[in-house]
Homo-oligomer: A and B are copies of this chain.
Amino acid sequence: MELLLIKRKNEPFAGELALPGGYVAEGQTTTEALDKVLSRKAGLNLGQLKYLEQLYSFDTVARDPRGHAVSVTYYGIGNDLKVSYQKAGLENPEFFPINELPPLAFDHLKIVEYARQRLQSKLSYTNIAMAFMPKRFTLSQLQTLYEQIAGHPLDKRNFRKQIQAQNLIKETDEWYKEGRHRPARYYVFAKQTVQNLDF
């Protein structure tokens, strides 16, 4: 599991790694601004994300030396995201493994931790896991995801029972046949949209 960071071009914290961010223009919604910032600075498109949720709004008066009023933060999830490095003006977007993050500018690490926490609790009562998965996947892949978010290993048999009991996934007749071991059955999610309980 990886997190997209950019290398800041401007002060403060120029040259340091940070979450991508930018300004909201007059008459623009925060999600419109998000879309623009994402594509301009990070080479990603909102449409590539399978899930997007508002995280929190921070008062930046105290946090940011430039003294702006509010930072509305979002977190998004996608599978097999590729940044388009060709674009001009990008701030070197790069994915970093979530468990070995480099030092971040501002208090962005706290924000990341908060998002992680939120994600973890959402896993238990939504099908948000879907947003991380490709169209078809094996149960081991799914379990690995859950373990990454939970931060500890899970029992294979119990995990499979629980997942199957939720009716979120359906088995297919396709098989993953890599490596010198028994093939694994591919599964797909039963509902093709991620629930979003927010506005």
Contacts and interface: CB of A to CB of B under 8 A. Distances in A.
A198 interface: yes
Contact of A199 (B28, B30, B56, B199): B56
A153 interface: no
A57 to B, nearest CB: 4
Contact of A61 (B28, B57, B199): B28
Interface in A15-57: 24, 26-31, 54, 56-57
Interface residues of A, number: 24
Interface string A107-121: 000100010010000
Interface in A171-199: 197-199
B24 A70 contact: yes
Contacts of A56: 54, 198-199
A75 to B, nearest CB: 14
Interface in A78-117: 110, 114, 117
A62 interface: yes
A69 interface: yes
Given A54-B57, A58-B199, A70 B72 contact: yes
A2 interface: no
Nearest to A107: B199
A28 B60 CA distance: 10
A147 interface: no
Contact of A31 (B30, B59, B198): B59
A67 interface: yes
A70 B70 contact: yes
Given A28-B61, A114-B199, 16 more contacts: A26-B69, A27-B67, A29-B59, A29-B62, A30-B57, A30-B69, A30-B70, A31-B59, A54-B56, A54-B57, A56-B198, A56-B199, A57-B57, A57-B70, A58-B199, A70-B70
Q: Which 3 A-B pairs have the closest CB atoms?
A: A29-B59, A57-B57, A57-B72
